Amino acid sequence: MEFRYKIAAAFAVFVLLIGIVFTIQWVYLNREASTTHGGYQLYETFTVDDFSYGPQTWAPYASKMPLTPSADVNGNEGFYLMFVDLNATSNLNSTFPRVQVDYAFSGLHGTAAFHVYGYIHADGAVSWTNRVEGSGASGYYVTVDPQSTGILSGPQIMENHNHVAVKVANDAGATYKDNGNNTYFMQFEKEGGGLNSLHITTDPKTPKGQVTNTNNSTGTFFVNFTGDRVQDNFILLVAVNGTISLDFQLNLKASVPQ
């Protein structure tokens, strides 16, 4: 009889320990993201003056890559582009390595497309980006109060889709000073290359991401890499169409959850 009591007590303790473990795991996986040194890697507001390129319907890659799925890269409904240095990469010691991006638009009258590029310092170039179309595609698209595309006087269409330097819009300039002029060099070697490692996701537990379309002018997404080449920095492409007037603002915060 005493032996039975011991078995029952041991089983009860085992069940209790299992419950504690699962509770700790649930709390850990659903906790608020902390940031590197308690601060942001990027905390900046961008305006209409920060668009450097466009109007165009394509993003840099080995060939012209559409800014939105199924878009005609030679179409007339162009976007204006800015590149933003997130000054961050994934923390590989994290449970779900990624960089968190919080955005807030005001004065958005069209669609904003977010894509990510990866930079490796040893290569001195950007050679990775998220896949826009087909199996494994990811991206984040925000549409608010769409209006016809206006014309901005400052930006120019990018001179090439590959082997080209792109300027970042950050006040502090580029994190890596390879070129000495706040640019990063886009260098994609072949069609289909550099498309399977970088992703945009709304759920860190789904690291390979998804295509997200939303009407929310504020929100959060994550960028990460799943390949074997460790990325030293992420550069965010922000492309906007519609009417971009003086009231346009985009606040971006980038942080690295532990």
Contact by Cβ (8 Å): 249, 112: no
Residue 87 CB contacts under 8 Å (≥ 6 apart), including other chains: 41, 42, 170, 172, 175, 233, 254
Q: Which residue has the higher pLDDT, 232 or 29?
A: 232
Residues 6+ apart with CB under 8 A from 170: 42, 44, 84, 85, 87, 182
Three-state secondary-structure class, residue 178? coil
- Note the pTM of the prediction, 2 decimals: 0.84
Residue 117 region, left (φ>0) first, then alpha (ψ -120 to 50), else beta? beta
Q: Is the pLDDT of residue 68 over 90?
A: yes
Cα–Cα distance measured from residue 159 to residue 164, given in angstroms and rounded to the nearest whole number? 8
For residue 2, the model assigns a pLDDT of 57
Do 162 and 187 form a contact (C-beta atoms < 8 A)? yes
Number of alpha carbons in the 13 Å side-chain half-sphere of residue 252: 26
How far apart (Å, rounded) are the C-alpha atoms in residues 130 and 136? 9
Give the pLDDT confidence of 89-113 residue by residue, as tens digits: 988 777 788 999 999 999 999 999 9
> Which pLDDT score is estimated for 7?
60
Q: How confident is the model at residue 5 (pLDDT cuts 50, 70, 90)?
A: low
- What percentage of the chain carries pLDDT values higher than 70? 85
- Return the H-helix or E-strand segment holding 214: strand 211-214
**Mean of the per-residue pLDDT values for the chain?**
87
